[in-house]
Amino acid sequence: MEKQDYLNRETREFLESCVSSADDSRRIRYIRQDKFIEYSAASMVLKEIKFLMESPDVSRTQSLMVKARSQNGKTSIRQRIASLNEPRMDERERIIRTVVSVEMPPDPNYVSLINTILTEMGLPDHHSKRSDVLLRHLVYHLSEYQVRAIILDEIHIMGRAQDRPLRHLLDTIKAIVNMAKIPLIAFGTVDAAIILEKDEQMHSRFTQMDLPDWTGNEDLQTLFKSFEEGLPLRKQSNLTDDELGFHLFDKTNGTIGELNRLLQQCAIEAIKSGEERITVNQVKMMTFHSSKPKRVQQS
C-alpha cells in the first residue's frame, strides 16, 4: 500500500479508519466538508488578526480590511478565525466570546448592524432607535463577554445605503471600535475600500490587506499542495505537477472557491471509479461550470 505522507495528519488518520469500500460514502462526505486551505496570503491575514486581538487597549484602535473578489477565500478565513476562537466558559462559569463573527445585514443601517451583533452573541434585539442607547447596550455586552474582535463579512453591502444612512453606519462602526477598544476585522470586495474612503478617519484606522488573484506561481503550487493534503485518496495525485495544475487552473476562474469545487468533483469521481487519484485526463474530461469569462472567437 502506498505510504500516504502526502496527506496531512487529520486526513491520513481519517483515511486509515476507512478500511473497505463500504467506507467510500464517509470519504465522499469528508471531501464535501468545508475546510480551511492554508496558503501564504491567508497565513499573513491570520497573523495580522492575531496581532490586533492581542494588542493592548489604546486610544486609537487599529482595524483591518481584507479585500478579495468573490470566491477567493474571504469566508474561509473568517470561518477559520471563528473556529479558533469558539465560545468557552471561564472558571466562574461565565461565557467568554473572544470573537463575534457576523455578516453585514442585507438592509445595512446602524440598528440592523448592532442587532445582528447582539443576536450572534445570543442576546435579544434591542428595540431603541437611538444610536447612543444602542451603542452603550452593545459595548456593555462586548465587555461582559470579553470580546477581543468583531468580524464583519460582506462589508461592501454598505454600498447599498443612501448617503445619510451610510454616514450614520460608518459613524456607528467607528464608535463601536472607539468605545469597546477592540478591532473590527472587515471582509469584502474591492468596492469596500471605496466606501471607507468616504470617511477619512475611518480610512486611516483600517490596515488593508488583499487576497490576490491566483497566477501560475509558487504560491499556486503551495495552494495545490494544501488542497491535496486534505483529500482522502489512497494514491498521490501530485497536484503540483505543471500539466495537471495547468488544466485545473485553466478549467476554473482561478479562485479558491472554484478550484475547491473542481477538486471535490474530481476526488469524488476518483473514489467512485477506483482510480484513487486525480489525473490530467480526468480533469480534461470533467464537466465543470465556471464563472470565468468565455473566450471570444476570432473571426
Report pLDDT for 260: 92
Q: Where residue 65 sits, what CATH number does that domain have? A: 3.40.50.300
- Examine the domain organization and report whether 51 and 165 are in the same domain: yes
Task: Answer whether residue 23 is part of any domain.
Answer: yes
Q: How far apart are CA 233 and CA 130, in angstroms?
A: 56
3-state secondary structure of 59: coil
Q: 116 vs 201, which has greater pLDDT?
A: 116
Give the pLDDT band of residue 217 (cuts 50, 70, 90).
Answer: low
Residue numbers of the domain that contains 236: 9-35+230-285
- Examine the domain organization and report whether 159 and 254 are in the same domain: no
Per-residue pLDDT averaged across 163-181, rounded? 90
Angle at 227 (CA atoms; ends 225, 230), nearest 5 degrees: 110
- Examine the domain organization and report whether 45 and 191 are in the same domain: yes
Per-residue pLDDT averaged across 16-37, rounded? 92
Per-residue pLDDT averaged across 160-170, rounded? 87
For residue 84, give every residue at least 6 positions away whose Cβ sits within 8 Å of its Cβ, in sequence order, or none: none
Distances 179 to 61, 86, 119, 159, 166 between C-alpha atoms, Å: 10, 24, 20, 24, 20
- Examine the domain organization and report whether 146 and 171 are in the same domain: yes
* pLDDT of 28 over the 70 cut: yes
- Examine the domain organization and report whether 183 and 118 are in the same domain: yes
Q: What letter would DSSP give residue 20?
A: S
Dihedral pair phi/psi, residue 128, rounded to 5°: -70, 145
- Examine the domain organization and report whether 117 and 238 are in the same domain: no
pLDDT 10s digits, 123-152: 998 888 888 899 999 999 999 999 999 999
Task: Answer whether residue 82 is part of any domain.
Answer: yes
* pLDDT of 298 over the 50 cut: no
Task: Answer whether residue 278 is part of any domain.
Answer: yes
Domain count, the chain: 2
* pLDDT of 255 over the 90 cut: no
Task: Answer whether residue 291 is part of any domain.
Answer: no
- Examine the domain organization and report whether 95 and 114 are in the same domain: yes
29-33, 75-79, 150-154: least confidently modelled range: 75-79
- Residues facing residue 64 across a β-bridge: 185, 207
C-alpha cell read off for 278: 486525480
User: Dihedral of CA 100/155/78/149: which sign?
Assistant: negative
Task: Answer whether residue 217 is part of any domain.
Answer: no
Q: How far apart are CA 59 and CA 119, in angstroms?
A: 28
- Examine the domain organization and report whether 167 and 281 are in the same domain: no
* pLDDT of 164 over the 80 cut: yes
Per-residue pLDDT averaged across 255-275, rounded? 94
